[in-house]
Amino acid sequence: MEIYHQLIQHVDGGQSVALLLVVGAVGSTPQSAGAKGLVDQQGAIVGGTIGGGLMEARVAAEGASAVRDAVPRLVAFPMDEAYGREAGPICGGTMRILVRPCSPENCQAYRSACAAAELRQRGWLLTTLSAPDVGVSRWVAVDEVGDAAPSLADALLALLTRETADTVRDPSLGSEVFAEVVAPAPRMLIVGGGHVGQALARHAVPLGFDVTVLDDREEQADSSRFPAAVQTICGDIALEVARFPKQRDTYIVLVSKGHKPDAEALEQCISSDVAYLGMIGSGRKVALLRRDFLEKGLATAPRFDQIFAPIGLGIGAVTVEEIATSIMAQVVAVRRGVSLPGARP
């Protein structure tokens, strides 16, 4: 939702901008459906991106025109020119892009969607692509989907499951609609505010995670060590992990000061149905904790083996920043459902 927050800030600040929204992508393209950018009346990209390069420059020019004439438009951009040093885009695909000028009067749907996401509500931002209402958007909450036509409701719920964006048909209006899933930012709990925990927080915030860092040491839970968006908790590890919301959009990373707090935290979340649970440590540490958990009946072997431990992708990481990168790459792979070597236990 970040681009919509930026859009609202520009509009509320009296700046004229147009939204560039990729509503279709076929073949090889630099971005997929749902990619967004903002362009000002001079044609400069002031937020997001729809792929960069010559394609983005040409569409940005359309955006500048849309800002000036206040008329939305759909642009089809083929990228299949014959190869040559002076040729245009040669990727091979085609992108379909909605260019929509934005004003205080036509941003209510974006405001509603942003407010819903802040409240951790789920739903869809629907934008009409058919004349005469090209670019008209509306917010639909999950509990309102029953009011839609059955075929549209089914399509929206399928998108919600996959957390993707796509073009669907709205039979009640006889129109083509672009549907974007609006969902709260996935939560990430980082247990341990040391060097790796700090680096992870710096990586996770711009990747769209709602980050909380937990440590039982006041100095390591000092909020000044972390990006402003990060919540910090200083308290008992086991108690705070037990309290933390553990849902299908929760990612838990155990990188504390040692095996004891890691074990205490793991005991409180190993049975939870979270999206990701990873623990830092050597192969020996993991093996010893595994034996302890099995002997005490705290976990079954199959359940323990679902933990990402040792944590991170095997990229030969040595420095703190490299270790954090290896962990976040693994987290992103899990979030996007991509199978990579070491991406799933």
pLDDT for residue 95: 87
| Domain coordinates in residue numbering, the chain | 2-103, 108-182, 187-335
The whole-model pTM stands at 0.78
**Predicted local confidence at residue 92, as pLDDT:** 64
Angle (deg, nearest 10), helices 108-118 and 2-12: 130
What's the CATH fold of domain 187-335? Rossmann fold (3.40.50)
Q: DSSP for 248-317, please give it.
A: TTEEEEE--SSHHHHHHHHHHHTTS--SEEEE---HHHHHHHHHHHHHTTSS-HHHHTTSB-S-S--S--
Provide DSSP, 174-210: TEEEEEEEE-PPPEEEEE--SHHHHHHHHHHTTTT-E
Residue 89: what pLDDT?
56
* pLDDT mean for each 10 residues of the chain (345 residues): 91 92 86 91 91 85 92 84 52 84 90 91 91 89 84 87 83 84 92 96 94 95 94 96 94 94 95 95 93 95 94 93 96 86 50
d(CA 252, CA 240): 13
pLDDT digits (tens, 9 = 90+) for 105-121: 889 999 999 999 888 88
